[in-house]
Amino acid sequence: MRAVFKNDEFAYIAGMNEESPILSDFETPEQAAAYDKWFREKVKASLADPRPSIPHEEVMAEMREIIEGKGKRAQGC
């Protein structure tokens, strides 16, 4: 029988590492809770960031240039 731990919005089943919306890849509930806290803080900080958003299309175009070796970052700038 597997141990099941519950953490607010998902369940962690010890010994399982299958992809599922209710299972965690963390080894312990404490690791899952620490990651959840870190992630929520990152989202909160991002939402509070006063800088203007960058349109998705602009980001994707820049990433395509980088992948193709044409971007400023790829050229070491």
Q: Is the dihedral of CA 48, 52, 55, 60 positive or negative?
A: negative
**Model confidence, pTM:** 0.47
CB 24 within 8 A of CB 10: yes
Question: Residue 12 burial by CB count (10 A; 0-12/13-18/19+): exposed, middle or buried?
Answer: buried
Q: According to the model, what pLDDT value does residue 1 have?
A: 39
**44/4: higher pLDDT:** 44
CB 24 within 8 A of CB 16: no
As a whole number of angstroms, the distance between CA 1 and CA 30 comes to 21
Q: What is the pLDDT of residues 22-39, one digit of tens each?
A: 666 788 889 989 999 999
